[in-house]
Structure 1
């Protein structure tokens, strides 16, 4: 089947489960076949830094949508904006408010069903900060200092904050506050989930069995990289905004960015080779993630392409087919602040009802 036919079919093919280590599993490429046990609690958050880019969409919120569509009815689904994490690098208050609203609009526009899942703001629950402090007394500074993301985010900063250094402890508190059993994240968060498990084990050992050790569910899409520098992750903070595709951008804007995307001089064939062809490989990975296909299937689909224009035109087509509906919904939702506030208020109340009961138990075990 050639590319144009295959994308229109949108045939999601199951690549199966790949266990990376004892605590990490990937989600299925066929969302209907995710192996989520009954009565699980799935929790995940995303920083509110404005409208989502393609990496946020494929690496996080589309997996949330799949879970609201296909997880067992007994599964508790809790998704939030990590606005406490967002201020580890200071931003103006007006930006935080705007970004939080855009993040909620992006989550809903991506198809996450708010009637099936709790959607809330982290800062609305003081229980996050309470558990964070308790866990911080169990966290070693040496462990935190080895965090890859800490090293990356603090690089070039004259005075990095304690919050930036210790935010993986708050992330652990976020997860454990709801006694989460599964956490869908991107592969760049695996190290933080291992810290979460370590802190849960330390708490259980010191204060008695309290937490189940949460299982990490990796999103099936590999990390989406910068279009202009495919050696680093796609990011909203990239100074060159041609490197990043947002879900609310027009087809013309996307076409211009893909046209400028770094590839290479080889045009006789297009194959996945991250070491020698990082730019081409990044675009193939984007196609793979959107179509829920293996890299090998995508390579077969594009095997007849003999020039960069045909390849990049196809990439544009695939992206636009995927985000047409999220783009339309985002533009509608972001204009309806009353509706967004209503959804968040309901989510805040539901999340607080769970967290307030759990934190009471945790504090009693500590001796408070």
Structure 2
């Protein structure tokens, strides 16, 4: 008697990165390296979409010239780390108008109270007050740009969990409001600053030694890791609460070596921070040198980058248009 074999469930994997300057080590180890792994391990029927989210970058003021250059730089970075445009769809968010059309529809059914409950909304308000030195500033001064994510799998950091949850809630609201016969929209640790290991590594931090950029030279990497904040406790242990600087270096080393941090720390019995920093420096340089060289070559090939972006946009629009046709029908605007 023949037995039936269940068809594997097709995954739609989507993630994006803002074009706000050259990525730092946290972006690479925390997100981009995972994209490469997802592509490597994907089944033939899986769909992978990776977007450079230019519209999302407009939430904060941008220099048009710098934004234009950053878009091209990020595309070159994705190709340099081996995101393959033949296997994955790589596209600029703003080349697909379906994104803004769906965002408008979703914004029309999203009450303000849902945004006010989000930690990221509160942190944006606090950051705006600090940058503007205006203690009287309130949320009415914030830009309301918000990105909705619809996919079966969304590889992002832990800090984006609230965004995914809100996207799921909004999608559920759409399905209820417009009586969808099926669920049209399925529900969908970071590297810390070298100078302040209680905060995430950030491109906007005033101290440039707090981050390692994708394009940093070997000497720059050495200098930044040598000056990384640790502690005066003897020995090397992994304790993110009491020894955040040391734990951060161990996390970086483990990520560069593609191993569990517990295995990494086990090799440091009787060693000191000097030995750890030397090993981290070597591992980071080894991790970045190949992609860095490829990036420098790719960013000069403007025609190839233009062609990859155009072909990716066309493929992305084909995928999203099918969803938008059903959305328009549901809301009476087909």
User: Same fold by TM (over 0.5)?
Assistant: yes
Corresponding position of 2:166: 195
RMSD: 1.8
- CA gap of 1:182–1:162, structure 2 versus 1, over 3 A, is farther
Corresponding position of 1:274: 240
1:76 alignment partner, one of 44, 47, 61:
47
- CA gap of 1:160–1:62, structure 2 versus 1, over 3 A, is farther
Corresponding position of 1:260: 227
- CA gap of 1:329–1:163, structure 2 versus 1, over 3 A, is farther
- Secondary structure class of the residue paired with 1:352: helix
Corresponding position of 1:8: none
Q: Please tell me whether residue 167 in structure 1 is matched to residue 145 in structure 2.
A: yes
Q: Please tell me whether residue 62 in structure 1 is matched to residue 33 in structure 2.
A: yes
Post-superposition Cα deviations, 1:84-131, rounded to whole Å, max 9, x if no partner, equal: 010110111001101101110111111111110000001111111111
Post-superposition Cα deviations, 1:296-355, rounded to whole Å, max 9, x if no partner, equal: 1111022231x3221110110111111111111111111211111111111011111122
- CA gap of 1:233–1:343, structure 2 versus 1, over 3 A, is same
1:360 alignment partner, one of 309, 325, 328:
325
Corresponding position of 2:201: 234
* Pairs within 5 Å for 1:1-368: 38-157=9-128, 158=132, 166-168=144-146, 171-172=147-148, 175-176=149-150, 180-207=151-178, 208=180, 209-215=182-188, 222-266=189-233, 268-305=234-271, 307-368=272-333
How far is the alpha carbon of 1:198 from its aligned partner? 0.5
Question: Size of the alignment, in residue pairs?
Answer: 317
C-alpha separation in 2, matches of 1:264 and 1:336? 45
- Secondary structure class of the residue paired with 1:296: helix
Structure 1 alignment gaps of length 5 or more: 1-36, 216-221
Contact 1:65/1:111 (8 A) holds in 2: yes
Post-superposition Cα deviations, 1:210-238, rounded to whole Å, max 9, x if no partner, equal: 424334xxxxxx11110001111101111
Corresponding position of 2:5: none
Contact 2:59/2:144 (8 A) holds in 1: no
C-alpha separation in 2, matches of 1:275 and 1:96? 37
C-alpha separation in 1, matches of 2:293 and 2:303? 18
Contact 1:183/1:214 (8 A) holds in 2: no
Structure 2 alignment gaps of length 5 or more: 1-7
Query: How high is the TM-score relative to the length of structure 1?
Result: 0.82
Post-superposition Cα deviations, 1:58-88, rounded to whole Å, max 9, x if no partner, equal: 1111111112212001001111001101011
- CA gap of 1:167–1:304, structure 2 versus 1, over 3 A, is farther
